[in-house]
């Protein structure tokens, strides 16, 4: 049992069972042992999972192209803010800043990057990697930003409540103790807020199934909307709209633990030593956005978004024999394939675009397959 697990066990013994969301909050964000509070050493090839920025610089380059298009559509803005929530190790910030310096030097000179993260260790690492950016915790961010807000692989790491359909009604999965004093699942009646959210989107609608709901996702979106006066909010994460997320294909829900690039369902073990994550309900984000005065600009898959923003440029024929044989060029092509492969990151990840005070026609929301191969009869998202 980890030291964090021991502290949680003692608090449960004294005060009673916790909701899974409370447990997940402590497991991930506890300042003295939470998974994300320890810095970025657990991420990347030598860690527990990859982020898009671990797979090379093409992802940041495509986002830089989209940011350039946003500025052209609603600006030019002076300054143009890019506010990245969940900035992590600063890899994406570095890639965007470097790509923009080449793509649009004028915008690069006007661009003010803001790194936002709950983890002090992550902020310190991100600040070292992108020293020209401002690094801040969410509570110190403030408002008045104009430009683009980014949330890449943030919502999947927000604490979730777990619900089950038991004897025709929904119950909530709490974390308590078994007879031996170990952390264990216990079932309790759903709180009114959790029950209402689960019923609204059809979570765990069939007997014996379970699912997750994330009230904190709506709160996080509100914080992002509050900081943006004018511009576009882009959410990149894995998930689905509610009809697919809570469909028959996921009878056990989407919650997973990640350790050493492998998933498991031992959610109560190795507390603070493994990541906990759940798929995002994009329907809930779209609905909350409407109440916050954000306009839906589109929802698409990551492969379509990246292709529409030029990621395939790396596959264009080289102009010289030296470049054709360049191993770095070959590596860049392989990295791009990882990001757009339809059986991997390309379709599992979605991109949600929301507008504040503007409605630009975003290139990333266009379906490049329609343009190249003719009309489709199904929605890309």
Kindly indicate the confidence band of residue 376, based on its pLDDT and cuts at 50, 70 and 90. very low
Average the pLDDT over 241-258 and give the result.
94
Q: Which sign does the torsion angle of CA 43, 48, 53, 55 carry?
A: positive
Return the DSSP state at 45: T
Both tokens assigned to 378: 């199904």
Average pLDDT, the chain: 89
Q: Does the pLDDT value for residue 323 go beyond 90? A: no
* Confidence band for 332, pLDDT divided at 50, 70 and 90: low
What's the CA gap between 24 and 212, in Å, rounded? Answer: 12
Contact 366, 287 (CB under 8 A): no
pLDDT at 56: 72
Tokens standing for residue 367:
């379906």
The model's pTM is 0.89
- State pLDDT tens for residues 38-55: 765 555 455 554 567 666
How far is 236 from 126, CA to CA, in rounded Å? 19
Q: What is the pLDDT of residue 377?
A: 44
373 pLDDT more than 70: no
The interaxial angle of helices 327-340 and 58-74, nearest 10 deg, is 70
Share of the chain above pLDDT 90, in %: 77
Q: Which one has a higher pLDDT value, 188 or 41?
A: 188
Per residue in 103-113, pLDDT (tens digit) is 999 999 999 99
* Length reported for the chain: 381
DSSP-H helix ranges across 19-79 = 20-29, 58-74
Dist. CA 334–CA 329, nearest whole Å: 9
Look up the CATH architecture of domain 37-159+215-311+342-369: 3-Layer(aba) Sandwich (3.40)
Locate 254 and state its tokens.
């989407």
Average pLDDT (286-297) is: 98
Checking if the pLDDT of 221 tops 80, the result is yes
What is the predicted pLDDT for the residue at 35?
92
Report pLDDT for 347: 76
Using the predicted structure, report yes or no on whether residue 320 has a pLDDT greater than 60: no
Distance of CA 215 to the CA centre of its chain: 15
């Amino acid at each position: 049992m980890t030291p964090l697990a021991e502290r949680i066990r003692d608090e449960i013994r004294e005060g009673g069972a916790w909701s899974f969301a409370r447990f997940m909050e402590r497991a991930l964000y506890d300042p003295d042992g939470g998974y994300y509070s320890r810095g970025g050493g657990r991420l990347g090839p030598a860690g527990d999972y990859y982020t898009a920025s671990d797979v090379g610089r093409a992802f940041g380059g495509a986002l830089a192209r989209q940011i350039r298009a946003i500025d052209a559509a609603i600006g030019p803005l002076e300054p143009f803010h890019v506010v990245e929530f969940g900035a992590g190790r600063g890899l994406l910030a570095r890639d965007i800043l470097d790509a923009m310096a080449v793509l649009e030097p004028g915008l690069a000179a006007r661009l003010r990057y803001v790194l936002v993260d709950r983890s002090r260790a992550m902020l310190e690492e991100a600040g070292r990697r992108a020293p020209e950016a401002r690094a801040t915790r969410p509570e110190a961010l403030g408002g008045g930003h104009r430009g683009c807000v980014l949330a890449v692989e943030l919502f999947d790491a927000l604490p979730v409540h777990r619900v089950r359909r038991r004897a025709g009604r929904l119950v909530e999965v709490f974390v308590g103790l078994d007879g031996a004093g170990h952390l264990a699942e216990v079932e309790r009646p759903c709180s009114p807020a959790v029950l209402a959210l689960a019923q609204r989107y059809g979570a765990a609608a069939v007997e014996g199934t379970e699912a997750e709901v994330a009230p904190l996702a709506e709160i996080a979106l509100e914080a992002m909307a509050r900081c943006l006066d004018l511009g576009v909010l882009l959410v990149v994460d894995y998930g689905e709209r509610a009809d697919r997320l809570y469909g028959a294909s996921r009878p056990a829900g989407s919650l997973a633990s990640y350790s050493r690039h492998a998933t498991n369902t031992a959610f109560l073990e190795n507390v603070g030593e493994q990541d906990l994550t759940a798929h995002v309900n994009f329907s809930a984000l779209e609905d909350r956005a409407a109440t916050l005065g954000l306009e839906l600009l589109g929802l698409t898959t990551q492969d379509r978004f990246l292709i529409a923003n030029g990621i395939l440029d790396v596959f264009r024929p080289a102009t010289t024999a030296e470049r054709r044989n360049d191993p770095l060029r070959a590596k860049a092509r392989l990295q791009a394939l990882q990001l757009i492969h339809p059986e991997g990151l390309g379709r599992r990840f979605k991109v949600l675009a929301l507008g504040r005070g503007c409605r630009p026609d975003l290139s990333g929301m266009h379906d490049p397959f329609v343009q190249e191969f003719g009309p489709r009869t199904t929605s890309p998202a």
